[in-house]
Amino acid sequence: MTTTSAIASIDTMSHNSAASASRRSRRRHLLVGTAITLVVLFVFAYGVKRVIQTRSWQVAGELISQVETDERVVALTFDDGPTDSDADAVLDVLADRGVPATFYVNGKDVEGNASAMRRIIEDGHEIGNHTWSHRRMAFVSPTTVAEEIEPTDDAIRATGYDGPLTFRPPHGQKLLTLPLYLAKHDRLTVTWDVAYEDWSGNPQSSDDIIDATVENTQPGSIILLHPWFGRTNTQKAIGPAIDRLKDQGYRFVTVSELIG
């Protein structure tokens, strides 16, 4: 090999080596950039999930999940429904014990269960808006928010109820459009701090619900139960839970009375 050929070969090898190093560097930068992007997306998604699920904060408007007080006073609330077929099992227990409650109802069920709504009102309980169809209210448009809330307000008022009308989002979920709507319309969001029904599909007895509810209640708590649609174990838990809390010196009021 001539000197000139050797030099050319060395130059080619150096060029190839440099090109290979450049490709490796680009791959490293691409991998690092991809990793950073994935981390940012994960953190963002985690933050969004926390905002959606948190029961004690929202981006706009007022939210109440419990009330700071030393007084042994609590609010008992029921979500979903109502259903005529379950009304007596729920309302008889409250009437026997002289306990007022707050019922967060769905508009689609209000119209088809007139007798349950009538008795809730006649017994002096409070009613709140729980959307029309019980859909999740995180990633929804402003139009959807209005379509879920306003017809439900109208359906509740059409029953003759003229008391306070607070709002509770299904599953407690909210992100941006729902809180902005509620803030604009001066509506209070009410969540809860005591809810121990098991929705995982595992069998749960009424005693399980009673024990968990009583053990986790504190002054100013907002208790949540779902007694409709044949949930008999929850229905059976209502009376004993009330009795045990009363034995501990607790008094029951509506949500509006608790926050007022």
Task: Give the span between the Cα atoms of 160 and 66, in whole angstroms.
Answer: 28
Number of Cβ within a 10 Å radius of residue 153: 16
Q: 7 pLDDT band (50/70/90 cuts)?
A: low
| Span 163-174, average pLDDT | 96
- Catalytic residue flag (residue 226): yes
Which candidate in 29, 79, 185, 247 is catalytic? Answer: 79
Residue 182 has a pLDDT of 97
SS3 call for 129: strand
Which candidate in 92, 153, 226, 243 is catalytic? Answer: 226
Q: Supply the mean pLDDT for the chain.
A: 88
Residue 198 CB-half CA count within 13 A: 14
- Catalytic residue flag (residue 123): no
Type of residue found at 77: T
Predicted confidence (pLDDT) per residue in 177-221, tens digit? 999 999 999 999 999 999 999 988 888 999 999 999 999 999 999
pTM comes to 0.82
| Span 93-117, average pLDDT | 97
Domain 63-259 indexed as CATH 3.20.20.370: yes
Residue 38 has a pLDDT of 42
Residue 44 has a pLDDT of 36
Whether the Cβ atoms of residue 192 and residue 65 lie closer than 8 Å to each other? yes
Predicted confidence (pLDDT) per residue in 22-49, tens digit? 777 777 766 565 554 544 443 334 344 4
pLDDT at 228 over 60: yes
Beta bridge pairs of residue 76: 223
Handedness of CA 174, 75, 66, 245 (dihedral sign): negative
Domain edges within the chain: 1-52, 63-259
Show Cβ contacts of residue 243 under 8 Å, excluding neighbours closer than 6 positions: 97
